Structure 1
Amino acid sequence: MLKETFIKLIGNYTTDDWLAIQLWNEIEENYSNKKRHYHTLDHLENLLQHLFTIKPQIDNWDTILFSLYYHDIIYNPLKTTNEEKSAEFAENRMQLIVVPQITIENCVRQILATKKHLLSADNDTNIFIDADLSVLGQPWNVYANYFTQVRKEYSLYPDLIYKPGRKKVLQHFLQMERIFKTDVCFTMFELQAKENLQKELELLQ
């Protein structure tokens, strides 16, 4: 479903089938990098499935799809500019197929919003960042697999460095008044997410 949805999306803006395949291959290659364990094609697939379930609430489906495919296209655990570089990458590729500027700008905004996951005035942006965080509100076994994969991505760091950083991330979310900005995701995930985050935090002590 992931590839088919992307090819259909690109087909809304170009009839160049070869270009569409090249753009997909580029996405597949980046998300399949052997150093990735969580930010993979499986992550995109899970996001896509979740977004399909709430599609009627989304104002601009194409924008949110572009955000989905490109939001982690650049991912280096050693860098703090992944979102900015991913947004720049997305902008460049969308310009190649002459996507309207307003769509490009909205996509860039959505990708950058995944850096801090703050409440936005734009409903689609809130939907997207909630989808990006939906793993936090999954059953414990799914969540535990998620943070194990994240740890593997940061395997270059010893526990002495990783644990304090991870604790800071967990505490950041736990201190939020609401992790999930949309009512539907708040209802579906908030309680479980806070339980999961607190349990992981205790495991890091």
Structure 2
Amino acid sequence: MLQNKYTELLLKIGFNEDCIENNWSDLEKAYSTKSRHYHNLNHLKEMIELYEIYKSNLKFPNEVLYAIFYHDIVYKVTRKDNELRSAEFALSILPEHTTLDKQLVFDMICTTQLHQQNEIKDTNWLIDFDLKILSKDWEDYKIYFDQIRKEYKIYPNILYKPGRKKALKHFLENDFIFQTAEFRNKYEAKARENIKSEIELLS
């Protein structure tokens, strides 16, 4: 499903058919490395499922979908510029005469670092697709934070736990976690409940 969706998008936005398979191979390889326990192809799959549900709300559906595919193409837990580098990579492979708004794609990917309200509504949808995991049922949420811990396994608990708690508390300190009214109404309460429960486990 992912590869078909990817191929369909790249043909639509101006890629030559000959290079699409190589680009997919590079993307699949990046998201399938052994160190990726959460930020992998399944994460993309879940985001794209949400994209399909809410696509009618989007003004720039192609930009959002392209941003989904490339927002975590670069992911190293030791770096703080993954989103920037992912955005730069996403633009670097675009054909010269692409139909995509390059600046919009770049900005969209960069906003997945801080997940804050954006004046462009489509960007808010992208952020919410990325954060939907926070509102899963508790058993699924536990799988998620266990996967995140595995990605950060190079750090001992004495370093990991304070860092994770700080990141989680940042979500709770914001007026809202989700940027669209639809997601806020459906998922905000559950996400906050999950985050508070994880913080307790980290204490």
Instruction: With the length of structure 2 as denominator, give the TM-score of the two structures.
Output: 0.97
Structure 2 counterpart of 1:36: 36
Deviations 1:36-59 (A, max 9, x none): 100000000000001111111011
Equivalent-residue separation in structure 2 for 1:98 and 1:34 (angstroms):
35
Equivalent-residue separation in structure 2 for 1:114 and 1:134 (angstroms):
13
Equivalent-residue separation in structure 2 for 1:166 and 1:13 (angstroms):
38
**CA 1:15–1:66: 2 relative to 1, 3 Å:** closer
Judge conservation of contact 1:137–1:188 (CA < 8 Å) in 2.
no
**Pairing of 1:70-89 with structure 2 (within 5 A):** 70-89=70-89
Structure 2 counterpart of 1:177: 175
Judge conservation of contact 1:13–1:97 (CA < 8 Å) in 2.
no
Q: Which amino acid aligns with 1:111?
A: I
Q: Aligned with 2:174: secondary structure?
A: coil
**CA 1:15–1:67: 2 relative to 1, 3 Å:** closer
Judge conservation of contact 2:75–2:82 (CA < 8 Å) in 1.
yes
Structure 2 counterpart of 1:153: 151
Equivalent-residue separation in structure 2 for 1:78 and 1:15 (angstroms):
33
Judge conservation of contact 2:111–2:127 (CA < 8 Å) in 1.
yes
1:128 Cα offset (Å): 0.3
**Pairing of 1:123-134 with structure 2 (within 5 A):** 123-134=121-132
Q: Which moved more, 1:102-111 or 1:7-16?
A: 7-16
Q: Which consecutive residues of structure 2, in runs of 5 or more, have no partner in the other structure?
A: none
Equivalent-residue separation in structure 1 for 2:50 and 2:84 (angstroms):
24
Q: Percent identity?
A: 36
**1:3 is aligned to 2:8:** no
Equivalent-residue separation in structure 2 for 1:72 and 1:45 (angstroms):
13
Judge conservation of contact 1:67–1:107 (CA < 8 Å) in 2.
yes
**Pairing of 1:59-98 with structure 2 (within 5 A):** 59-94=59-94, 96=95, 98=97
Q: RMSD across aligned C-alpha pairs, in angstroms?
A: 1.1
Q: Aligned with 2:175: secondary structure?
A: coil
Instruction: With the length of structure 1 as denominator, give the TM-score of the two structures.
Output: 0.96
1:187 Cα offset (Å): 1.4
1:97 Cα offset (Å): 5.7
Q: Which consecutive residues of structure 1, in runs of 5 or more, have no partner in the other structure?
A: none
Deviations 1:85-143 (A, max 9, x none): 0000001012x36324x611111111000111111000000000011000001111111
Judge conservation of contact 2:112–2:130 (CA < 8 Å) in 1.
yes
Judge conservation of contact 2:14–2:98 (CA < 8 Å) in 1.
no
Aligned length: 203
Q: Which moved more, 1:5-14 or 1:195-204?
A: 5-14
Judge conservation of contact 1:136–1:197 (CA < 8 Å) in 2.
yes
Deviations 1:138-165 (A, max 9, x none): 1111111111000000000000000000
Q: Which amino acid aligns with 1:24?
A: W
Equivalent-residue separation in structure 2 for 1:176 and 1:13 (angstroms):
36
Equivalent-residue separation in structure 2 for 1:61 and 1:2 (angstroms):
16
